[in-house]
Amino acid sequence: MRGGNLLVRNGLIVTSEAMFKADVKVVDGKIVSIGEGLSNEGVDEVIDAKGMLVLPGVVDEHVHMREPGLEFKDDFTHGTKAAALGGVTTVIEQPNTLPPVEDSNTLLAKAKLLEGKAFVDFALYGVLYDSNVHNFEDMISSGAVGFKVFLGPTTGNIPPPSTGSLYHILSLSAKHNVTIAFHAEDNDLVNYFTNKVRSEGRVDAKAHEDARPPICEELAVIKLATIAKRTGGHAHILHLSSKEAVEVIKEGKVRGVKLTGETCPHYLLLSNEDYVKYGTLMKVNPPIRGLTHQQALWEGIKEGVIETIGSDHAPHTVEEKKKSVWEASSGFIGVQTLLPLTLDAALKGKLQLTLLPKLLSENPAKLFKLWPRKGVINVGSDGDLVIVDPNEEFTITQEWLISKNPVTPFIGWKVRGRIKHTILRGVPIVRDGILQNVSQGSWLKAIF
């Protein structure tokens, strides 16, 4: 694996513990020293970061880059270019591609296919459902960093596992110390409410929210919390959207259950009041809800109940997004806007700045066994850095978004802070906001 030799001078380093002025020196792709007045001996390039913040490169634990099989929506080249421009140096790619990543052969084939195309480093999830749980160990030995289990209907139509399989999966999680990430919406309840709301003849965009009310998420999380408690397995609940689910996780944590949670910028920044404006563009699963839920998610972050923010980058074509409420695809792009939106929130005082490296880099890297190589600015870690100017304003535009289908509700949003440079293992892959033509991302296996 290639690595660069670089000195980043005079920046304000932001870690999960502190903010301090220092230089960071990277040799052969690894951080070799952090301190004031470091010499430039042995480096090929010096970046002056005076007046700028230096954060660990973002580890986005939740991206659907669509390759292989769904390239009409987007592909890995576009997705990882978008990541680089958004300050993301590692992506953890979801398994609902075609074929799904359901055994070690599909995992290895996917890794091989993506490796030549990656602009940032990447790791892979495997998927688990009723008939492939026996592949758990094989996929881990082949390099999966964790698994995804879909309890409710989603893109790819992966069947939800039985309660028995969930027990089996979380027992294996305990045995092998592997994090299982869940799409936690109860399938039966989603079907029940969807039929009910559809039979009322609703066609407004908000009908999607009512078709998947908070109890769908709450019940799924209660079930997982109970099984995690009894098995000792680790359930990581993705894209938390409701107050009720946050409460269940909070209670579980108090009782020592291995329960962690992720939310996404769209649940923190949009609410059901926005359906009128954005329509099906903001259709996503679980749905975006009311302001009380949004508030509970912010509280959950501040209290440490929610430990990560992922993007749930889920591209679809413009046509797929424009369909009627019941036909439109769920999800939208997000990897490029994850840091700009959360950085903006932090710079405007909605979130402590030192929480950003924790939520966006360190915790995801720890959950998926990439830490301490990834996720932190520490001697010995990879030289993955993102350098931002906190004083510049920046508008998210369609032109800036690198995607085959650059559609997201966040187009036109003004944010504070501009991503200047993204550094991957000591090599600038974005310089002064401009993507460099170097595809040198590598496949990362878990460090168990």
Residues that bind ligand DOR (CB under 6 A): 64, 96, 154-155, 183, 284-285, 312, 314, 330-331
8 Å CB contact between 19 and 12: yes
Q: Which amino acid is at 152?
A: G
Q: Would you say 142 or 241 has its CB closer to Zn ion?
A: 241
Residues 147 and 168 sit within 8 Å (Cβ to Cβ) = no
Closest distance between ligand DOR and the C-beta of residue 21, in Å? 41
Of ligand DOR, Zn ion, none, which one does residue 250 interact with (CB within 5 to 8 Å by kind)?
A: none
Instruction: Return the residues of window 236-295 that contact Zn ion according to CB under 5 A.
Output: none
CB of 380 vs Zn ion, minimal distance in Å:
32
In degrees and rounded to multiples of 5, residue 75 shows phi and psi of -140, 175
Nearest residue to ligand DOR, by Cβ distance, number only: 331
The yes or no reply on residue 217 touching Zn ion (CB under 5 A) is no
Q: Strand pairing partners for 56?
A: 385
Cβ-contact 16, 363 below 8 angstroms: no
Q: Indicate the residue among 61 and 218 with the shorter CB distance to Zn ion.
A: 61
Q: Are 58 and 18 in contact (CB under 8 A)?
A: no
Q: Which is nearer to ligand DOR, 87 or 331 (CB)?
A: 331
> In the bound complex, what is the minimum distance in angstroms from residue 62's beta carbon to ligand DOR?
8
Per CB under 5 A, contacts with Zn ion among 288-317 are 312
Closest listed residue to residue 206, CA positions, set 277, 272, 265, 278? 272
Comparing CB distances to ligand DOR, the nearer of 312 and 382 is: 312
CB of 279 to ligand DOR, least distance (A): 15
CB of 84 to Zn ion, least distance (A): 21
Strands 414-424 and 385-395: antiparallel
The rounded distance, in Å, linking the Cα atoms of 363 and 159 is: 29
Smallest separation, CB 284 to ligand DOR (Å): 4
Q: Are 158 and 191 in contact (CB under 8 A)?
A: no
Contact partner, 90, from ligand DOR, Zn ion, none, Cβ < 5-8 Å per class: none
Angle in degrees, 0-180, between the axes of helices 243-254 and 291-302, rounded to the nearest 10:
30
In the complex, the residues that contact Zn ion under the rule CB under 5 A are 312
